[in-house]
């Protein structure tokens, strides 16, 4: 990618004031304010006098065009129907925007194409363990910072897919304030290009990999794109123009320290020279187990009740077993959990010492919260409140062990999964 420099100001709230229009009626333009805020997504509020302008400004294809502060094109994608209010002849409408694309005017989302997709993602810096800071011996009265920008490395995944890993660096040289910030990125290259949908599938695959490495929710920090032929000539030089994506999925940058091994279940260095093969396998794995991973992820990224968390985790394990053992026609859920838990009895020791009893409790609890049949409650095996929370913790660890085993992470790392366990649980009712 031509410019691998992260903005480093993603935490700032941003407002873009200007005129906006729909691709089919560029002659009708309305004034509006686009507001971008992390975790809140994007919102466009437009103001128009008279009925004709408001009526003409109708993003029925869910796309709005505009310009940023530097007169560069902006495309709003997946625009929701507005909430209009009228006061004194002035119509104000508020649009929720799914994604904002900076640097290009697109007629619709299907026109999006990325020949290089570059991602800054939470915890990727620590996972990759790549830095340009040179460690010196202990310093006392004088502080010296040494920095050497590390080389970026690309891996061949397939005939039309390369994956790169590198570091973006931002230096500040002020009279009273000098410093260097860096963050690691992962990049995907394709001659054919990635669609909007494919780009986010690649993003989700990296987020999932990092989640199983650090056992925390993982969000993207910044998304940049390069498209062949998108740029301008400056003398004899061709200057590529970077396209940036903004959405509610973006969060602030953060990462655990790379050398704190106890924090990580695995890191990039564990793949060694086999990264290309391991990452290729991971992309295939995410595609194959998408249903199971989706059910599991809902418990990570959403605040569910204990009952719904239990149903999502048991559904994840059921879907996982069905895909791994082609057992979709098998309705014996208890046998599936037994088969999944048995290989991990050593890793689950102290949490699940009686596998058959554990399986009985999982079946009774799952069946009760699925059907609410009193017969399951009468068994005395249905977990509730704190017991249900603890049961969910065990199911979460079991699913994680299954996935980590599949991607060849050694079982001696599984003790690190227990860092997720709650030390105290308080029932308020």
Q: Are residues 86 and 124 in the same domain?
A: no
Domain check: are 241 and 327 in the same one? no
Do 155 and 264 lie in a common domain? yes
Residues 145 and 270 in one domain: yes
Closest listed residue to residue 122, CA positions, set 36, 241, 38, 226: 38
pLDDT attached to residue 2: 44
Which among 235, 203, 247, 171 is positioned nearest to 10, based on CA atoms? 247
pLDDT of residue 254: 93
Judged on CB neighbours under 10 Å (0-12, 13-18, 19+), 123 is: buried
Query: Are residues 296 and 253 both part of a single domain?
Result: no
How far is 79 from 62, CA to CA, in rounded Å?
4
Count of residues in the chain: 429
pLDDT of 40 reads: 83
Q: What is the pTM of this model?
A: 0.92
Clarify whether residues 339 and 249 are in a common domain.
Answer: no
Say yes or no: 149 and 239 in one domain: yes
Q: Tell me the pairing of strands 178-194 and 161-173.
A: antiparallel
Q: Could you read off the pLDDT of 338-387 as tens digits, one per residue?
A: 999 999 999 999 999 999 999 999 999 999 999 999 999 999 999 999 99
Residues 64 and 178 in one domain: no
Does 179 share its domain with 89? no
| Residue listed under structure tokens 């418990």 | 299
Domain count for the chain, please give it: 3
Q: Check residue 51 and give its pLDDT.
A: 55
Within-domain flag for 90: yes
Beta bridge partners of 166: 185
Is 426 contained in some domain? no
Task: Name the domain boundary from 78, 102, 126.
Answer: 102
* Residue 429 belongs to some domain of the structure: no
* Residue that terminates a domain, selected from 280, 308, 326: 280
Element (H, E) at 75: strand 73-79
Residue 179 burial (C-beta neighbours within 10 Å; 0-12, 13-18, 19+):
exposed
Query: Do 248 and 373 fall into the same domain?
Result: no
Instruction: Collect contacts of 68-71 with beta carbons under 8 A, ≥24 apart.
Output: 68/16, 68/18, 68/102, 69/16, 69/18
Of 63, 82, 102, the residue that ends a domain is 102
Q: Which of 90, 80, 84 is nearest to 43 (CA)?
A: 80
- Domain hosting 31: range is 14-102
Distance CA(97)–CA(79), nearest Å, equals 5
Q: Give me the tens of pLDDT residue by residue for the chain, a chain 429 residues long.
A: 445 655 545 567 899 999 999 999 999 899 999 999 988 889 999 998 765 555 668 888 899 999 998 899 999 999 999 878 877 778 889 999 999 999 999 999 999 999 999 999 999 999 999 888 887 655 556 777 788 888 999 999 999 999 999 999 888 877 777 788 899 999 999 999 999 999 999 999 999 999 999 999 999 999 999 999 988 888 888 888 999 999 999 999 999 999 888 899 999 999 999 999 999 999 999 999 999 999 999 999 999 999 999 999 999 999 999 999 999 888 899 999 999 999 999 999 999 999 999 999 999 999 999 999 999 999 999 999 999 999 999 999 999 999 999 999 999 999 999 999 998 888 776
How much is the pLDDT for 1?
45
Cβ-defined contacts of 268-275 (< 8 Å, 24+): 268/127, 268/128, 268/129, 268/130, 268/165, 269/129, 270/409, 275/155
| Cα(289)–Cα(68) distance, integer angstroms | 40
């Amino acid at each position: 990618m031509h410019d691998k420099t992260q903005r480093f100001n993603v935490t700032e709230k941003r407002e873009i004031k200007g005129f906006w229009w729909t691709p089919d009626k560029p002659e009708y333009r309305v004034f509006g304010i686009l507001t971008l805020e992390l975790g809140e997504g994007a919102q466009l509020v437009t103001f128009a006098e008279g009925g004709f302008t408001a009526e003409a400004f109708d993003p029925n294809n869910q796309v709005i065009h505009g310009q940023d502060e530097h007169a560069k094109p902006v495309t709003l994608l997946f625009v929701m129907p507005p909430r209009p209010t009228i006061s004194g002849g002035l119509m104000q409408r508020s649009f929720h925007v799914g994604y904002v694309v900076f640097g290009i005017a697109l007629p619709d989302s299907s026109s999006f194409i990325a020949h290089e997709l570059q991602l800054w993602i939470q915890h990727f810096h620590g996972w990759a363990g790549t830095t340009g800071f040179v460690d010196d011996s202990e310093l006392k009265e004088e502080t010296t910072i040494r920095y050497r920008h590390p080389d970026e490395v690309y891996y061949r995944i397939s005939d039309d897919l390369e994956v790169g890993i590198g570091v973006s660096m931002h230096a500040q040289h002020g009279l009273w304030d000098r410093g260097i910030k860096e963050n690691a990125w992962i990049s995907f290259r394709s001659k054919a290009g990635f669609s909007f949908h494919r780009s986010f599938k690649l993003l989700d695959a990296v987020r999932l990999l990092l989640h199983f490495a650090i056992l925390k929710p993982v969000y993207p920090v910044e998304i940049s794109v390069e498209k062949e032929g998108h740029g301008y000539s400056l003398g004899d030089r061709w200057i590529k123009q970077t396209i940036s994506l903004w959405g509610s999925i973006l969060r602030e940058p953060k990462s655990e320290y790379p050398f704190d091994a106890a924090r990580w279940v695995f890191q990039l260095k564990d793949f060694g020279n086999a990264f290309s093969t391991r990452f290729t396998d991971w992309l295939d794995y995410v595609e194959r187990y998408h249903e199971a991973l989706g059910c599991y992820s809902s418990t990570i990224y959403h605040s569910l009740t204990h009952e719904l968390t239990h149903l999502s985790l048991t559904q994840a394990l059921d879907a996982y077993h069905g895909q791994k053992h082609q057992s979709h026609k098998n309705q014996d859920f208890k046998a599936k959990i037994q088969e999944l838990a048995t290989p991990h009895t050593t890793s689950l020791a102290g949490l699940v010492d009686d596998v058959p009893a554990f399986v009985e409790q999982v079946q009774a609890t799952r069946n009760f919260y699925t059907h609410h049949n009193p017969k399951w409650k009468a068994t005395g095996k249905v977990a509730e409140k704190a017991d249900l929370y603890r049961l969910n913790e065990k199911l979460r660890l079991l699913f994680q062990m299954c996935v980590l085993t599949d991607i060849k992470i050694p079982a001696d790392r599984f003790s690190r999964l227990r860092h997720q366990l709650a030390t105290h649980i308080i029932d308020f009712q």
